[in-house]
Amino acid sequence: MRDLNITDYDYDLPEDRIAQYPVKERDRSKLLVYKGNKISSDIFMNLQSYLPDGSLLVFNNTRVIRARLLLRKSSGAAIEVFCLEPLDPPVYEQSFASTGPVEWKCIIGNLRKWKVGILDLEFRKGNKTWKLSAEKIKPEGEAWRIKFRWDKPSASFSEVIEAVGHIPLPPYITRQDEKGDALRYQTVYSEVNGSVAAPTAGLHFTDGLLDKLREKGIKRTDITLHVGAGTFQPVRSKNISDHEMHTEHFFFSQETISALLKYKGRIIAVGTTSVRTLETMYWLGVKVLNNPSISTKDFKVGQLEPYGNRTGVSFSESLTALSDLMKRNELFTAEALTQIIIVPGYEFKVTDAMITNFHQPKSTLLLLVSAWAGDSWREIYDYALRNDFRFLSYGDSSLLFK
């Protein structure tokens, strides 16, 4: 990794190729197919034609929350509070369900204008006026701990941000969120609140396409990884090993592990978030084998753990160990953290194919694609640029086989 230079993972992305809106119908986006070192194109609604019989699709069922809160000081100065993750209570479900004060780690826009004091925001819900208050508690790294209170004790925090918050569109979408984004910046299978960015490879799926896949015998299983704002953080250091990767929460079930073991060799990840989760699960299993008494509270894989760890542990051994530990602890679902960074040289342990959009130059997501496709990532991206593919979150998609 010390020899990897981020400038080698750059390309020219014209602004007019960055999709500002999704296509009118989700599954009418373009689909680039890379298989056997050959590139072709189609429409996403024909995805089932390219998936091997008996494949297993792994979806990230996280749901994007209305994480952007726009408040104003009494002076009129605009302050944006961007919710990242819950701190008190620290569990997503508990925080969203809370009817009392909650504390979140937040990024503050126009921070210099908010030195002291509590910010209030009045808004209408139904035929009533509510008030949300935000209090700055203390720094949390480059972010801040913010305490939220509201004047309707029967309402949950989830109801409050749903009523007053804005959809957190990525910074390269240079417009304000609109009514349609509440639907289109969300997958049709989203279930678990917690993301501040969409798992965008899944935005192309429709209920009709999911039915077609089911009819063809393509199976599915779900994981949950709450996508953080760090996914948009560029690699600023010239040497990739100096980049600090963001940490994300994820959840997986016994049922998913069983499906992965059953469909070994035919596992297709929908999105880089699913890839990241699947590969982290393998390394968690390795940790269990190395330390059978490990607590599930220590389920975390650090940024560089997979590198230099020349393990001979097989896919099946790792996931079976993970499953056995969950059974011993009577856990149907486990929670974990991942900081793993996947770069060229990484050996994929679980993923056999991936569906993903086209990513920003010099980003960790492009590094992941390069780790997957090798130097062919340039051919793939050159083809997409020459053939009018749309890029980034609301852009077109690709299906990449090893």
In whole angstroms, what is the distance from residue 117 CA to residue 115 CA? 7
Tell me how many helices (H) and strands (E) the chain has: 9, 18
In whole angstroms, what is the distance from residue 15 CA to residue 96 CA? 37
Sort 29 into a burial class: Cβ within 10 Å, 0-12 / 13-18 / 19+.
Answer: buried
In whole angstroms, what is the distance from residue 318 CA to residue 322 CA? 6
Domains defined for the chain, CATH in brackets: 6-64+184-401 (3.40.1780.10), 68-166 (no CATH)
Helix (H, G, I), strand (E, B) or coil at 32: strand
Q: C-alpha distances in angstroms, 256 versus 58, 260, 320, 387?
A: 9, 6, 12, 37
Contacts of 398 (CB under 8 A, 6+ apart): 31, 32, 33, 34, 355, 356, 357, 358, 380, 384
Which pTM was predicted? 0.94
Per-residue pLDDT of the chain (402 residues; tens, 9 = 90+): 667 889 999 999 999 999 999 999 999 999 999 999 999 999 999 999 999 999 999 999 999 999 999 998 878 788 999 999 999 999 999 999 999 999 999 999 989 899 888 998 888 777 788 899 999 999 998 899 999 999 887 889 999 999 999 999 999 999 999 999 999 999 999 999 999 999 999 999 999 999 999 999 999 999 999 999 887 777 888 888 788 888 999 999 999 999 999 999 999 999 999 999 999 999 999 999 999 999 988 999 999 899 877 678 999 999 999 999 999 999 999 999 999 999 999 999 999 999 999 999 999 999 999 999 999 999 999 999 999 999 999 999 999 998
